[in-house]
Amino acid sequence: MAKKRALVTGGTGFIGSNLLERLLSEGYRVVCMDNLRTGSLKNIAHLQDDAAFECVHHDVTTYIDCPGRLDEVYHFASPASPADFERIPIPILKVGALGTYNALGLAKAKGARFMLASTSEVYGDPLVHPQSEEYWGNVNPIGVRGVYDEAKRYAESITMAYHRHHRVDSRIVRIFNTYGPRMRPDDGRMIPNFIHQALLGQPLTVYGDGSQTRSVQYVDDLVEGFLRLMRSLEVRPVNIGNPVEYTVKEVAGLILELSGSASELIYEALPQDDPKQRCPDITRARETLSWEPQVPAREGLSRTIHWFAERVERSGGGIRPKEIGGPTG
Ligand code: NAD
Ligand code: UDP
């Protein structure tokens, strides 16, 4: 049988590059499409010599031309760090709206199965806890986070419209906080910030009093969820996240412990509309995909700390973290 061919938009980013690697290892031919706004060619450098891999520099907010057969489209292009919501609000709105429209048009033209990378941010600052897919959310449409939240809510809406109206075979994954190798140290999100600060011996910047919660999942668990969802018949949105919930202060403490850093915590202002609590209800993923996260936070964070430490060391600084058993990615 001919190999499946997939397009991954946002493929030079953190999650996209991890997904590309997995698809190649599953025997796919893959096209990575990215405008490098928050991604990096370094994330795909090790794939360049693979004959099954192609990379196209393109902004998906403009018409997407992708010659040849396509079986699957993974639409992952979008900046995702809250630090970017104020910095580049209009590109975020455009990629969620126009980018999703173009990616859906391509999937329709090719008869390809389509997956949208949505987010737990569609639940906003949730009033229901944990969040199941039935919850409609609590989003401030005009706040600084609204550009991302509403773009993703629109993206879900247009995906379902293409599904109902044009019969596009679609999947929606609501991704909860994910971390792992290939996050940018200057990305601005909690885990890369804390790890980078810990390794450099700088204070860890806890926003607010650090009592807000997040549930953090390792990227390999997430990618496994994508593959299972793509192969399933589940058209409804599916939460993919690790339901073990931590306060931000606990995550900071864990990173200090695992990295062996003596950094202290400093407290800074809480960003506007920062969700107070977040934890996925993963009943649907368990029941329809037989999916559960496998990597505990201590293990995933240790692997990630080591990945960051190698890079900090290469640039001539940082502390050496404690030894761990697992691969460093
Ligand atoms: P990332 O910033 O590392 O990757 C995003 C990629 O999209 C980058 O390579 C960027 O250059 C590319 N991109 C942005 N605008 C583009 C455009 N107009 N055209 C082409 N490419 C463009 O972020 P990530 O964490 O890897 O997130 C990937 C996807 O997963 C995003 O859609 C994000 O909303 C979603 N998501 C991520 C998380 C998480 O915890 N990492 C949580 C929820 C949802
Ligand atoms: N956060 C923090 N210090 C940082 C970065 C983030 O305390 O240096 C907090 C942030 O306010 C939020 C949580 O950590 O409560 C997770 O933030 P992140 O940027 O990773 O993503 P979010 O879940 O808010 O989308």
Structure confidence at residue 320 (pLDDT): 63
Structure confidence at residue 312 (pLDDT): 83
- For ligand 2, whether the C-beta of 248 sits within 6 Å is yes
Report the residue among 175, 189, 191, 251 best suited for mutation to probe ligand 2: largest number of ligand atoms under 8 A from its CB: 189
Whether the pLDDT of residue 18 is over 60: the answer is yes
Atom of ligand 1 nearest to the CA of 118: 44
The label of the residue with tokens 């107070």 reads 276
Atom of ligand 2 nearest to the CA of 271: 11
Atom of ligand 2 nearest to the CA of 193: 8
The label of the residue with tokens 């550009």 reads 147
- The residues pairing with 280 across neighbouring beta strands, listed in sequence order, are 131
- For ligand 2, whether the C-beta of 140 sits within 6 Å is no
Q: 231-244 pLDDT, tens per residue? A: 999 999 999 999 99
Q: What percent of the chain has pLDDT over 70?
A: 96
Q: 160-204 pLDDT, tens per residue? A: 999 999 999 999 999 999 999 999 999 999 999 999 999 999 999
Residue 313's pLDDT band, with cuts at 50, 70 and 90, is confident
Whether the pLDDT of residue 208 is over 90: the answer is yes
- For ligand 2, whether the C-beta of 106 sits within 6 Å is no
Average pLDDT over residues 283-291: 98
Ordered strands of the 72-75 beta sheet? 53-57, 29-34, 5-9, 72-75, 113-119, 170-175, 238-240
Atom of ligand 2 nearest to the CA of 207: 7
In a 13 Å sphere around the CA of 276, the CA atoms on its Cβ side amount to: 5
Lowest mean pLDDT among 209-213, 246-250, 322-326: 322-326
Structure confidence at residue 322 (pLDDT): 57
- For ligand 2, whether the C-beta of 177 sits within 6 Å is yes
Q: 297-306 pLDDT, tens per residue? A: 999 999 999 9
Structure confidence at residue 5 (pLDDT): 98
Whether the pLDDT of residue 328 is over 60: the answer is no
Structure confidence at residue 311 (pLDDT): 86
Structure confidence at residue 192 (pLDDT): 97
Structure confidence at residue 327 (pLDDT): 32
Q: Give the distance between the most distant pair of CA atoms in the chain.
A: 57
Structure confidence at residue 74 (pLDDT): 98
Whether the pLDDT of residue 325 is over 60: the answer is no
3-state SS of the chain: helix, strand, coil percent to 5?
Answer: 40, 20, 40
Average pLDDT, the chain: 95
Query: Which member of 74, 148, 179, 218 is catalytic?
Result: 148
Measured in Å, residue 191 CA sits from the centre of ligand 2 at: 8
- For ligand 2, whether the C-beta of 255 sits within 6 Å is no
Average pLDDT over residues 276-285: 97
Nearest residue (by CA) to ligand 2, atom 22, is 82
Atom of ligand 2 nearest to the CA of 278: 23
Cα(65)–Cα(67) distance, rounded to whole angstroms? 6
Measured in Å, residue 39 CA sits from the centre of ligand 1 at: 8
- For ligand 1, whether the C-beta of 14 sits within 6 Å is yes
CB distance 216 to 178 below 8 Å: yes
Whether the pLDDT of residue 98 is over 70: the answer is yes
Measured in Å, residue 5 CA sits from the centre of ligand 2 at: 36
Nearest residue (by CA) to ligand 2, atom 17, is 190
Average pLDDT over residues 81-90: 95
The label of the residue with tokens 């992708």 reads 66
Structure confidence at residue 329 (pLDDT): 28
Average pLDDT over residues 288-317: 92
Give, to the nearest 10 degrees, the angle between helix 219-231 and helix 14-25. Answer: 60
Q: Is 148 a catalytic residue?
A: yes
Cα(240)–Cα(175) distance, rounded to whole angstroms? 5
Nearest residue (by CA) to ligand 2, atom 6, is 190
Measured in Å, residue 279 CA sits from the centre of ligand 2 at: 14
- Containing H/E element for 218? strand 217-218
Report the residue among 7, 8, 14, 88 best suited for mutation to probe ligand 1: largest number of ligand atoms under 8 A from its CB: 14
The label of the residue with tokens 């008869």 reads 111
Q: 37-84 pLDDT, tens per residue? A: 999 999 999 999 999 999 999 999 999 999 999 999 999 999 999 999
Residue 2's pLDDT band, with cuts at 50, 70 and 90, is confident
Measured in Å, residue 125 CA sits from the centre of ligand 1 at: 21
